[in-house]
Amino acid sequence: MTYNRHDKKSPSASPEFSVREFFQRFNSEQACLDHIMEVRYGGTRFDCQTCGTVGATHHKLEKRRTYVAACCGHHVNPTAGTILENTRTPLVSWFFAMYMFCTTRHGVSGKELQRQLGVTYKTAYRIGQQIRDLMSKAKAFEALLSGHVELDEAYVGGRKSGGKRGRGAPGITIVMGLAERNGRVRARIVRNVKKETLRGVVLDNVAEGTTVSTDELYSYNLLTGDGYSHGVVKHGKKEYAYYDYKRDETFHVNTVEGFWRLFKASVRSTHIQIIGQRISRSSVNAYPDQRQAYAALSGRVHFPCEPPEPCERDV
């Protein structure tokens, strides 16, 4: 087979679904409603939920986001049970906000939504938080991580002048990252980096028998005893990757560290309101979840939906 260098799409090429294509497809309230009906019910012809008529036709009511069954008059509200229920903001604005979240690299701030959607900041902030909440509750990747998984923790919080940095620094929240090679990523807020704490996170999220890469943190030494094939890179000795010929595995944590680099870049460039102050647990849930959901769009990520326990230093 002849290789064509043009077969591979350039990273700088136009996105798969451009802004022009978005507004061609979702150019009105009706177009958005049609899409919701197609996703939830397969269109406007489906079995009536009240009288049981097979393939009943449903017609939209004028001036309402409601469809009526022609057979018996049963009302169907396509936005019911979603974040769009009872909203007075145009559906086109909601759809475009979701489009921005799906195509951005470093996140979407409330002020950016305010400027792009032409709404008040209060409305823009609420839209952003609702979308982030959906990202955090995504259940598409509940299976345990497997294959080769990298573990590394990040320390998130306001800057402090002087004092200790990294592990044990005051005024931070600890978030543990777990990344499959060429797969999913998860983030979990932890109280501390003690062995018992990290062991629980690994057992809950990583399948037994998985190959695991970590740095030299002593708390990770438990992994071999729990049935994992554990490899350690010693950053303190300037070691960042090594090949184990006995297990035919290359051990490093570059994947998960790259994830944290992108997350922190989004904080510095977009969500700048959380710089210089301690990040609350709700913020730490929303913004890493958003970053991981971006990775999920390319088949790489999942975020926790359960509320985390408070950090030991969360006063």
Residues 216-245 pLDDT 10s: 988 888 787 888 999 999 988 899 999 989
**Distance between CA 182 and CA 168 in Å, rounded?**
31
User: 66 vs 292, which has greater pLDDT?
Assistant: 66
Is 99:150 a contact under the CB 8 Å cutoff? no
Q: What is the mean pLDDT of the chain?
A: 79
Is 260:177 a contact under the CB 8 Å cutoff? yes
| Residue 187 in domain | yes
What crossing angle do the helices spanning 91-103 and 121-136 adopt, rounded to 10°? 60
Sheet of 45-46: strands edge to edge? 45-46, 56-60, 67-69, 75-76
Query: Across-strand partners of 148?
Result: 211
| Statement to judge: residues 79 and 103 lie in one domain | no
| Statement to judge: residues 225 and 275 lie in one domain | yes
Residue 263 has pLDDT above 90, yes or no: no
| Residue 8 in domain | no
| Residue 305 in domain | no
| Statement to judge: residues 108 and 164 lie in one domain | no
| Statement to judge: residues 97 and 190 lie in one domain | no
**Distance between CA 150 and CA 48 in Å, rounded?**
49
Q: Where are the alpha helices (DSSP H) in 138-251?
A: 195-205
| Statement to judge: residues 129 and 160 lie in one domain | no
Domain housing 182? 148-297
**The predicted structure's pLDDT at residue 1:** 42
| Statement to judge: residues 60 and 189 lie in one domain | no
| Residue 10 in domain | no
| Residue 11 in domain | no
| Residue 2 in domain | no
**Distance between CA 151 and CA 160 in Å, rounded?**
26
**The predicted structure's pLDDT at residue 313:** 32
| Statement to judge: residues 76 and 156 lie in one domain | no
| Statement to judge: residues 117 and 163 lie in one domain | no
DSSP at 211: E
**The predicted structure's pLDDT at residue 171:** 64
| Residue 157 in domain | yes
| Statement to judge: residues 156 and 132 lie in one domain | no
Residue 192's domain is classified under what CATH number?
3.30.420.10
Provide the residue type at 87 as one letter. Answer: T
Residue 258 has pLDDT above 80, yes or no: yes
User: 174 vs 94, which has greater pLDDT?
Assistant: 94
| Residue 249 in domain | yes
First-residue to last-residue Cα distance in the chain: 62
**Distance between CA 48 and CA 43 in Å, rounded?**
13
Cα distances (angstroms) measured from residue 292 to each of 168, 252, 299, 304: 25, 20, 10, 10
**Distance between CA 259 and CA 292 in Å, rounded?**
8
| Statement to judge: residues 153 and 293 lie in one domain | yes
Say how many domains are in the chain.
3
| Statement to judge: residues 129 and 207 lie in one domain | no
| Statement to judge: residues 112 and 251 lie in one domain | no
**The predicted structure's pLDDT at residue 310:** 37
